[in-house]
Amino acid sequence: MIVRHIVIAGFVAIGVPATGPAASPVEAEVYILAGQSNMSGRGALSELSTTDRVADERITVYGNDGMLRVALDPLDDASGQVDAVSADRQAAVGPGLPFARAMLRRHGRAILLVPCAKGGSSMAQWAPGGDRSTLYGSCIARAREAGGRIAGMLWYQGESDARDVATAARWSAAFADLVTAFRRDLRMPQLAVSAVSLSDRPVRDADRYPGWTDIQRQQTHLKIACTDGVSAAGLPHNADDLHLATRAQQRLGTMLAGSMTRLRREGCR
């Protein structure tokens, strides 16, 4: 069993200013951040503005080290990682914190983020079941441990599956099974899920991703109750032509907040 600790005063004391009163985890709405590298984040930390670096104590993160702290990027920091299966040592700026800030502006409720993403992970690696040595099992365990009320999940994944045409063709069925499993194991049959459809297909090494367009098509035509989608098409990439740039992740986070708000209006949570 992991003993959770809250690191707030100590985190701010290293020179990071904070705003707003700190919220107890039991008061917070919990959002799971799952998928692969573009959810973990590859946006450059150096491109964050001074305002981006100001913490709000109403937004916390259940770190990979089993600690609760005021949230700042990289949310998916692998320092002190408890569950090695999801360690992502390249984690940087993702959509999670911009999402939380946008949700806080919209609804005024404290937010607790639970990062579970793993760079390079495929749908097969997210297969439901297993203990916390698996991506799925770890994510379920961390969501339960975090405290608070689970309010939704953000999902961004598909680049790895796009490398094989046959695998890509099965993406939507695998995703539907995964959503069903999360809802069952979290005992939340109407869990709100906001999913991102892939950004523009990379021009560089485009032949590596023959299933990209097919997965994009499936992601933009999801027919799963209490699931909404946003498209990353047109958002700027880093120089690697695969991962979203910092400003793209910030825009995406705001889009995801709009998606999650739509789901809440429909009674999904």
Predicted pLDDT of residue 15 = 33
Please name which of 242, 237, 250 lies closest in space to residue 48, comparing C-alpha atoms. Answer: 250
Q: What is the pLDDT of residues 126-161, one digit of tens each?
A: 999 999 999 999 999 999 999 899 999 999 999 999
Distance (Å, whole) CA 139 – CA 228: 21
Please, which residues have CB within 8 angstroms of residue 116's CB and are 6 or more apart in sequence?
32, 33, 34, 86, 135, 138, 139, 142, 143
Q: For all residues of the chain together, what is the average pLDDT?
A: 92
pLDDT in tens, 231-260: 999 999 999 999 999 999 999 999 999 999
Given a cut of 60, whether residue 19 has pLDDT beyond it is: no
DSSP code string of 37-84: HHHH--B-GGG--TGGG-EETTEEEE-TTSEEEE--S-TT--TT-SSG
